[in-house]
Structure 1
């Protein structure tokens, strides 16, 4: 295992430290990680107050004076290192969860890193050169996010339906037509129809789409989910032709998909058949009903 990146203590008198009367713990000088000052604390005989008697105990403490506010919390992952000279590598042990440091809880660590009998026995390689050892730590700061987003679904709109009446259907000569702009769910929309189909191969059908208005501003990689029903109304009170869309409208970064619908919404033969009731007095009526529109708030 690689050496510690935050701090290391090298001792050449560990066993003698064990025999000192007032050597309950050894505290390193402060070292800086993530804008805070820390100390590595070694309990050579184990931290008896934390169930560590008979073990080597290792802890890290934060310097309160480096906290920005009195109620600030700092989350850090702690990885402790013990050098094994026999193997030429470091034995490591890490707490699974991040430790929460604040003005009240300033010290976290592990009370039972390694049994003292195992650590002291030279045959295991942790004590070498007579009385030497190397102990270290990585303090890995878990930084709080600086950017976020809030995704919401809106439904049950006060006025969810737009009805668009298109007169003089038989005289329509343009390839495509757009409805007036309308606003629902905090966005602007258009319905688009192609009276005689959207291009070769679809000239036997009416094509219809829901478009998000070209003036709408998307944030990069923004998505808007829409569930809506497109309809051609039957004016003889028979069955409407209705098709549902469940789609994502995308902004820059996702290919900018801003129009969804159907190439073959209704066949022209059914549409212009006066007995079917879709065109009456040369008037076509189409509709869109919004069921769901999503929104995303980005911070910042």
Structure 2
């Protein structure tokens, strides 16, 4: 518009309607109330609406759902002020116009210092009309951070006699999923003889959907049996079926050095017994619809 103030002063021209424009097979018009739509509690405000042309509806029973986003150009900021509802609008022969009655106070809009009215009497309005497709699939992601029993403790007896590369704990359930702890007594293949390796693993009985991920925040520990300081590491990872070295687990290849572990005075191995623990802090879940 290049003569907005003239329109403001008019007693009869309470609104301006654009030429029809087509979206989704329907004709629409942008409707501007410079002094507000008084019938919709808009006095003293700039009001913006979109109206559908009834003649483009197939029948009197037809309903058209549209997402509307209105724009007002602000020259000072070189940006558009936008306003949009969180819900879509339902148009039919009984309700042909939807929008906002109180977009901006007229005094705010008219003040040239605010940038909406510029170059004397110019302003710019716009609207996006989107006909949304009804979604057929959706998913709900949530995170649980309270558990009735968040810890799993595993005792490995005869630690000095553990000759296999790795050992897997019994399966346990926390956060709606089943897990195991895997320990490499002499370190994984790349760190053999230097440090104990420990990982939290998603149970092999857990079957994830394609692209499904589980967020886990937990603490892995080697407990000190002389009531001294435990060795603890924070785990923060996404489990997606592939973890460290292609496994379904995440953890630490160098959890505690074997020199510290085997020094009896430090209290990590007592009576040839090692105790490890995992404490869960958060586990995510995703529900899919349709399931």
| Bin for the TM-score computed over the shorter chain | 0.5 to 0.7
Instruction: Give the structure 1 partner of residue 3 of structure 2.
Output: none
Instruction: Give the structure 1 partner of residue 59 of structure 2.
Output: 65
Instruction: Give the structure 2 partner of residue 122 of structure 1.
Output: none
Aligned length, in residue pairs: 217
- Superposed, 1:109-124 pairs within 5 Å as none
Bigger radius of gyration: 1
Instruction: Give the structure 2 partner of residue 75 of structure 1.
Output: 66
In the alignment, is the contact (CA less than 8 A) between 2:68 and 2:129 conserved in 1?
yes
Alignment root-mean-square deviation, CA: 4.0
In the alignment, is the contact (CA less than 8 A) between 1:64 and 1:102 conserved in 2?
no
- Superposed, 1:35-74 pairs within 5 Å as 38=26, 60-62=52-54, 63=57, 65=59, 74=65
Distance in 2 of aligned mates of 1:76 and 1:291 = 40
1:247 aligns with 2:237: yes
Distance in 2 of aligned mates of 1:234 and 1:223 = 33
TM superposition shift of 1:147: 2.3
SS in 1 for 2:275: strand
In the alignment, is the contact (CA less than 8 A) between 2:145 and 2:283 conserved in 1?
yes
Distance in 2 of aligned mates of 1:220 and 1:67 = 42
In the alignment, is the contact (CA less than 8 A) between 2:239 and 2:248 conserved in 1?
yes
SS in 1 for 2:224: coil
SS in 2 for 1:275: helix
Instruction: Give the structure 1 partner of residue 218 of structure 2.
Output: 228
TM superposition shift of 1:274: 1.3
TM superposition shift of 1:107: 4.3
Distance in 2 of aligned mates of 1:242 and 1:105 = 63
TM superposition shift of 1:146: 2.6
Distance 1:108 1:283, change over 3 A: closer
1:276 aligns with 2:266: yes
Distance in 2 of aligned mates of 1:263 and 1:183 = 24
Distance 1:108 1:167, change over 3 A: closer
Instruction: Give the structure 2 partner of residue 165 of structure 1.
Output: 155
Alignment gaps of 5+ in structure 1 = 1-27, 44-49, 52-57, 79-94, 110-137
**TM-score for the superposition, normalised by structure 1:** 0.60
SS in 2 for 1:243: strand
Distance in 1 of aligned mates of 2:51 and 2:281 = 56
TM superposition shift of 1:101: 3.2
Instruction: Give the structure 1 partner of residue 133 of structure 2.
Output: 143
TM superposition shift of 1:144: 3.4
Q: Deviations over 1:27-54 (max 9, x none)?
A: x9xxx986xx84678x9xxxxxx89xxx
- Superposed, 1:118-137 pairs within 5 Å as none
SS in 2 for 1:269: helix
